[in-house]
Structure 1
């Protein structure tokens, strides 16, 4: 698996050390005043009227390396509040057919979409190769892959925290390279510790999850231990993805995922069916080799863009450099666990309903996984553009970009939902000919298609939260949404409800999260704007 693309994916800090502070001061990066529009900035009146230029010189921001202080500074909090205020004014339905931001969004969206589509292709390619060894090996690979992804998912902060750090120095390659190198060191050290834990605890964790099937458990341990050697490379790829987003370049993620796929097929083919014939363990080593090939590719791409210099790796990051990553890791861990729990409970409830319900549930999850990649690409674009604009304190422009991405995502979701609804009778045939399973899929699918525009809007708004580094709110709102979802799922379980009731419970987390996010942007943003508005002058007494 290549490094995850998103976050929930979602993103600010200081950099580190007196040496970097001095460089920032001497280069003018620490206090540059209003940032000029970049070459990639779309033209038009929106771009002209937005940004920090109308508010005078920008104060030093939290993402700028150097200087002691809290992880989230007063300047960063002020910028985040200003972004929400601008969004509360602009986040209303407006029928814009064209926008000056469309070209920039499209240039980022297309590679992000292709990179997202490569992830299920990577899993399918490995499944096809391992499946030739036998059903037990295929099941062991599936279990090991889930545990590997679960371990990596705890460190999405490497993407989220790196993006604004590099974005703050997009115009200064030397400082951008040092920020990237600090993230690389943190990824390597964290990855090495994580690999040791996974290797040591693999037998106990696999035994707990695999139940009484000791044969599959033994194979899964072999696979997971062999694959664990790629964990440091997986975290390095996450830092590289964040650095790429910081300079608005999604090709880093795309080409890294492509290199992973090619190396995976080549390595697995050789280790499984070539002279080594290592079996399931060879598949794990092949995935680790592919992970390092992907990491080498993204590092080479960053070096070509001059935002990563190997010579900057000679200095270890200071503890203050790791603090923002550590703070975000806790929030994002709560977010990811809260998002995962309803899916696990729903699968358990669907299993209790019967084998046909479980089969339909699996098909629906696979179908939804494909179209969600479309909206996760919009999520990645929102994360990149919001983070880069806020790093220059262009809050108004960040809000305008967010609104436009929301409009595009919802506009794309409607014809996709209509097309899938028209093909709803043929979709289950791609997976099974069982009439009961097909009937269950046909009953639930309309609900998912009706909610598709809400999923699109929710993922874009989440990308905006990631771009604003508001991971504390993100974790709290996902936990609250998880509680609502679990309540519906428990009710469905105790009342022996249908598969439709199970999916209502699963989607409750998305609908609740969207409602909370809209409240965050619209209600709280407008209240803060009113609170900060100057009071009207008092009339003198008559």
Structure 2
């Protein structure tokens, strides 16, 4: 139990002299406002240096985050190759089952977002406290994962029947796959907590090694259970994915233990209501955020389907192309989340703002040559996917729009990482819901006015542009922190000193 003196103080100082995270909601909100104000000042400076004191720290996190992101399509491709040998209905069932599994897991993103600042703040005090915070998150993941597994097992036939329509073969295979894969749900949530803990201590090599372990386990178990003596078919594919999920979870937990950020002995006590409440508070707004972000894509895909098979084929190719460069920006997002949360846990708002501004500069600067190169090759890129002339023309017509706004996507993804690092999830959910509404209006109006695939993508990308505008307003409208005018003439010692630590 905290002493009255500590409880009344908006911040604490560790034995090493570093200031830790705010201890009251009011102090946390004030810290966030200072961060937003300082970040807006940095972003509006217009200065883009060729190098920065933060570049090395950023590169250490960005590189493993990018590789881990690129492993995701590799994992999907490897599983598709194995299951595809069973037949076309099985491949369709894999696609349906994977989407439903990812949707179930994605609903619990608060496990990452909530763990990161808690472990970062605890790590300022000691590794033991960081381990206790991680252990509390592990318990939440295991208990929630067990309940989720039971729900998915019970409801899978009804959900699959609704999603698959009249295709009985696909539905039956999807039920087998998803029920078998549901046994990996607790492990998937444990991995999310581990990712949050790793971000809290600025170590993104741990999620990367966990993803590698998952990939190796997936291929090995697929080969064994699909083609080995068991020959279990789609049910084997689901069990293979579940087993690989546990291999990945065991890997990241072992790596956290090696880094002394997790001690299994801290699992001896269950988390209390105060330990669970940060996750509970974030669940609703992040669920709204995820669902709102998905809805325009679902509506756009439905409209593209109505245009005909040529337009749907081009739409699918464009989504796959965008998926590759999206991983680049998601690596910046993960880096921003980790560094901002870590610095705010130390009450280093100025340093957090400088890091975010540098990440934004790097992301936008990198997006411009990438967009230019893809624009020059826009006539050749569709050839990688299809020989259909009409589909290739459709892709080449829409691609310039996506490349034109790529720098905006880069900036928006970095700012979102900063917002997540500041644990501003209430705003994030409201912002994405508002952006979703505007996107749907633009989507419907543009489609019915022009009825082309280009109009569909204009509506789809409206959510990104709107979200970016709202995020910029969120940063820019913060009032100047109290006492900032007095400090304006003082030397900027804190950020410089923090860069040397």
TM-score by length of 1: 0.86
Q: CA–CA distance in 2 between the matches of 1:530 and 1:77?
A: 12
Which residue in 2 is equivalent to 1:4?
Answer: none
Which residue in 2 is equivalent to 1:78?
Answer: 30
- Does 2:444 correspond to 1:497? no
Q: Cα distance, 1:490 vs. partner? A: 1.5
Q: CA–CA distance in 2 between the matches of 1:437 and 1:443?
A: 10
Query: Cα deviations across residues 233-290 of structure 1 (Å, max 9, x unaligned)?
Result: 0000000000000000001110000000000000001000000000011000000000
- Does 2:47 correspond to 1:107? no
Query: Cα deviations across residues 122-151 of structure 1 (Å, max 9, x unaligned)?
Result: 000000000000000000010000000000
Q: How does 1:56-205 map to 2 (within 5 A)?
A: 58=19, 61-62=22-23, 73-92=25-44, 93-171=46-124, 172-205=126-159
Q: CA–CA distance in 2 between the matches of 1:181 and 1:34?
A: 23
Secondary structure at the aligned position of 1:506 is classed as helix
Q: How does 1:382-421 map to 2 (within 5 A)?
A: 382-421=336-375
Q: CA–CA distance in 2 between the matches of 1:162 and 1:297?
A: 18
Q: Indicate how the Cα distance of structure 1 residues 77 and 221 shifts in structure 2: closer, same or farther if over 3 A, else same.
A: same
Range with bigger deviation, 93-102 or 295-304: 93-102
Which residue in 2 is equivalent to 1:275?
Answer: 229
Q: Contact conserved, 2:34 with 2:481, CA < 8 A, in 1?
A: no
- Unpaired runs of 5+ in structure 2? 487-501
Q: Contact conserved, 1:478 with 1:513, CA < 8 A, in 2?
A: yes
Q: Indicate how the Cα distance of structure 1 residues 35 and 412 shifts in structure 2: closer, same or farther if over 3 A, else same.
A: farther
Q: Cα distance, 1:425 vs. partner? A: 1.1
Q: Indicate how the Cα distance of structure 1 residues 302 and 533 shifts in structure 2: closer, same or farther if over 3 A, else same.
A: closer
Range with bigger deviation, 484-493 or 203-212: 484-493
- Tell me the C-alpha RMSD between the 2 structures: 1.8
The structure that is helix-richer by fraction is 2
Q: CA–CA distance in 1 between the matches of 2:464 and 2:342?
A: 27
Q: Contact conserved, 1:59 with 1:75, CA < 8 A, in 2?
A: no
Which residue in 2 is equivalent to 1:45?
Answer: none
- Does 2:210 correspond to 1:229? no
Q: CA–CA distance in 1 between the matches of 2:463 and 2:231?
A: 45
Query: Cα deviations across residues 65-122 of structure 1 (Å, max 9, x unaligned)?
Result: xxxxxxx611111111111111121112212111000000001100000000000100
Secondary structure at the aligned position of 1:258 is classed as helix
Q: Cα distance, 1:35 vs. partner? A: 6.8
Q: CA–CA distance in 2 between the matches of 1:136 and 1:371?
A: 30
Query: Cα deviations across residues 432-486 of structure 1 (Å, max 9, x unaligned)?
Result: 0000100000000000011111000000000000000000000000000000110
Choose from 198, 208, 213 the match for 2:162: 208
Secondary structure at the aligned position of 1:169 is classed as helix
Which residue in 2 is equivalent to 1:347?
Answer: 301
- Does 2:218 correspond to 1:218? no
Q: Cα distance, 1:59 vs. partner? A: 7.5
Q: Indicate how the Cα distance of structure 1 residues 75 and 174 shifts in structure 2: closer, same or farther if over 3 A, else same.
A: same
Q: Cα distance, 1:489 vs. partner? A: 1.6
Q: Indicate how the Cα distance of structure 1 residues 520 and 448 shifts in structure 2: closer, same or farther if over 3 A, else same.
A: same
Q: Contact conserved, 1:188 with 1:236, CA < 8 A, in 2?
A: yes
Structure 1 runs (4+) deviating above 3 angstroms are 33-37, 492-496, 530-535
**Matched positions, count:** 480
Range with bigger deviation, 426-435 or 93-102: 93-102
Q: Contact conserved, 1:35 with 1:392, CA < 8 A, in 2?
A: no
- Unpaired runs of 5+ in structure 1? 1-17, 38-57, 63-71, 536-542
Q: Indicate how the Cα distance of structure 1 residues 365 and 317 shifts in structure 2: closer, same or farther if over 3 A, else same.
A: same
Q: CA–CA distance in 2 between the matches of 1:457 and 1:234?
A: 29
Q: CA–CA distance in 1 between the matches of 2:377 and 2:160?
A: 40
TM-score by length of 2: 0.93
Range with bigger deviation, 231-240 or 161-170: 161-170
Choose from 480, 493, 498 the match for 1:529: 480
Secondary structure at the aligned position of 2:283 is classed as helix
Query: Cα deviations across residues 318-373 of structure 1 (Å, max 9, x unaligned)?
Result: 01111110110111000000000000000000000010000000000000000010
Range with bigger deviation, 487-496 or 424-433: 487-496
Q: Contact conserved, 1:353 with 1:496, CA < 8 A, in 2?
A: no
Choose from 11, 22, 31 the match for 2:12: 31
Q: CA–CA distance in 2 between the matches of 1:34 and 1:339?
A: 43
Secondary structure at the aligned position of 2:253 is classed as helix
- Does 2:427 correspond to 1:473? yes
Which residue in 2 is equivalent to 1:303?
Answer: 257
Q: Contact conserved, 2:257 with 2:263, CA < 8 A, in 1?
A: yes
Q: CA–CA distance in 1 between the matches of 2:483 and 2:453?
A: 49
